[in-house]
Amino acid sequence: MTVPSTEDLRDFIHAEARLLDEGRYDEWLALWLPDAKYWMPLDYAQTDPIHETSLLYEDLFMLKLRVERLKGARTFSQKPKSRCLHVLNRPDVDERDDSAGRYVTVTRMHYVETRLDDQFLLALTARHELALVDGRLRIAGKRVDILNCDAAFGNIQLLP
């Protein structure tokens, strides 16, 4: 791929969600650049993941640890395993710099997570920073803003 079309960018976002829904975490991890960050702010319109508390702010090393935990035989909180489903609106391409191979998409979605009799629904917005590296799109950063981030809710076991 030389220059991704808007449809290519949208397809990438849908493909990432499908990997998560299907529990294909190793393939999902392969989408990430080594210095990428996954950020889930604690507060609405939060601007600083370093000096303010976040629900999640992880680098690739921590994401790999999270995936290993999810796949682990001794992860008793995941017996049986949680399942999730991402229901995406059409991703918007908010920024594109074809000469630098940098793109920003914003996707509004519902995220459903279930385990045994428990199920919860989150409304959220995901902002992906994508980079074109060696002819393929990769995740340079992902920010997930939960609409009711200031409400009390249970543990999120998987990755919205």
Q: What is the pLDDT of residues 36-70, one digit of tens each?
A: 999 999 998 899 999 999 999 999 999 999 999 88
140 with 36: CB under 8 angstroms? yes
Q: Which domains does the chain show, CATH number per domain?
A: 6-146 (3.10.450.50)
Asked whether the whole model's pTM tops 0.85, one would answer yes
Half-sphere exposure of 96 (CA within 13 A, CB side): 13
User: The tokens of 61 are what?
Assistant: 């090393």
Please give the pLDDT value at position 90: 97
Candidates 38, 34, 17, 12; CA nearest to 136 is: 12
| pLDDT surpasses 80 at 1 | no
63 Cβ contact list (under 8 Å, min separation 6): 29, 32, 38
| pLDDT surpasses 90 at 133 | yes
| pLDDT surpasses 80 at 87 | yes
Residue 42: which region, alpha, beta or left (left: phi > 0; alpha: psi -120 to 50)? Answer: alpha
Angle at 110 between CA 118 and CA 137, to 5 degrees: 120
